[in-house]
Amino acid sequence: MVLETVPVEYYMVLSAAVFCAGLFGVLTRRNALLFLMSVELLLNAANINLVVFAFYWGEITGQVFALFVIAIAAAEVAIGIGIILVLQRNFGDVDVTDATTLRW
């Protein structure tokens, strides 16, 4: 099996790298759609961990939970796109830094 040759730590490094890439995107992107894609990266980083460790622990809970996470991510995007659509209609752009009518 693959896992016998690739140590489990490597997968954790991979998922941490994907998580950091997503976090970087979340913090720097001004376009709301790119923000959504970055959140997908964050969720998929968690999915890598869940699937790898389901294999590592020899049980199926993590894999099933990864499927749940994928389904919820889809629902979240559906809501997000809806909100971005009304953002575009009200502010004429999908730049998240445009919406600043409410301040301290």
Partner 1 sequence: MIAGGLALAPAGAFVLAALALFVIDAFSPGKTSGGVLAGVSAFGAVGALAASGVFLLSGAASGGIELFGGQLVVDGMSLLFTFIFGSVTALVAVASFDYVREMPHRAEYYMLILLAATGMSLMASANSLAVAFVSLELASLPSYALVAYLKGNRGSVEGGLKYFLIGALSSAILVYGISLVYASTGSLLLSDVADAAGEAAATYPGVFGTGVLMIIGGLAFKTASVPFHFWAPDAYEGAPAPVSAFLSSASKAAGFVLAFRILLVGFPIQSVVGAIDWVLVFQILAVLTMTIGNFAAATQERVKRMLAYSSIGHAGYVLIGLAALTGVGGASAGATVLGASMLHLLVYGFMNTGAFLFVALVEHWEIGRTFEDYNGLARQAPLACVAMTVFMFSLAGLPVGGGFVSKYYLFAGAVGAGVWWLALVGAINSALSLYYYSRVVKAMWIEEPIEGRTIAHYPTALYAAVLTAAVVTVFLLPGLVVFDGAAFDAAAALL
DSSP string over 39-101:
HHHHHHHHHHHHHHHHHHHT-SHHHHHHHHHHHHHHHHHHHHHHHHHHHHHHHSS-BTTT--S
Paired strand residues for 31: 95
Examine residue 72 and tell whether it contacts partner 1 (CB under 8 A). yes
Examine residue 46 and tell whether it contacts partner 1 (CB under 8 A). yes
CA dist., res. 54 & res. 56, Å (int): 6
Question: Among 35, 55, 60, 92, which residue interacts with partner 1 (rule: CB under 8 A)?
Answer: 35
Question: Among 1, 5, 86, 92, which residue interacts with partner 1 (rule: CB under 8 A)?
Answer: 86
Question: Among 34, 37, 65, 93, which residue interacts with partner 1 (rule: CB under 8 A)?
Answer: 65
Interface ranges with partner 1 (CB under 8 A): 12, 15, 19, 22, 26, 32, 35-36, 39, 42-43, 45-47, 49-50, 52-53, 56-57, 59, 61-62, 64-65, 68-69, 72, 75-76, 79-80, 82-84, 86-87, 89-91, 96, 99-102, 104
